[in-house]
Amino acid sequence: MMDLGIAGRTAVVCASTRGLGRACAEELARAGCTVVVNGREQAAAERTAAEIAAATGADVVPVGADLDTPGGPDRLLAAVPQVDILVNNNAGPPFRDFREIDEQALLAGVRANMATPIGLVQAVVDGMVERRFGRIVNITSGSVKMPLAGLDLSSGARAGLTGFLAGVARSVAHANVTINFLLPGSFATDRLAAGQRVAAEQQGVSVEEVAANGRATIPARRFGEPAEFGAACAFLCSAQAGFITGQSLLIDGGAYPGVL
pLDDT at site 92? 78
- The 10s digit of each residue's pLDDT in 98-128 is 999 999 999 999 999 999 999 999 999 999 9
Distance from C-alpha of 181 to C-alpha of 183, rounded to nearest angstrom: 6
- The 10s digit of each residue's pLDDT in 227-237 is 999 999 999 99
Whether the per-residue pLDDT at 5 is higher than 90: the answer is yes
Q: Angle at the Cα of 192 (from 188 to 198), degrees rounded to 5?
A: 145
pLDDT at site 239? 98
Whether the per-residue pLDDT at 18 is higher than 90: the answer is yes
- The 10s digit of each residue's pLDDT in 135-177 is 999 999 998 999 888 888 989 999 999 999 999 999 999 999 9
Q: Which three-class secondary structure state does DSSP give residue 251?
A: strand
Alpha-carbon distances of 219 from 23, 142, 148, 229, 257, rounded to whole Å:
23, 15, 18, 17, 10
Q: Which three-class secondary structure state does DSSP give residue 99?
A: helix
For residues 212-240, average pLDDT: 97
Which helix (H) or strand (E) covers residue 135, if one does? strand 134-139
pLDDT at site 117? 97
- The 10s digit of each residue's pLDDT in 50-63 is 999 999 999 999 99
Closest CA to 183 of 251, 104, 101, 255: 251
For residues 7-33, average pLDDT: 98
pLDDT at site 94? 77
pLDDT at site 148? 81
pTM: 0.95
Confidence category of residue 256, pLDDT binned at 50, 70, 90: very high
For residues 225-253, average pLDDT: 98
Residues listed for the chain: 260
Mean pLDDT of the chain: 95
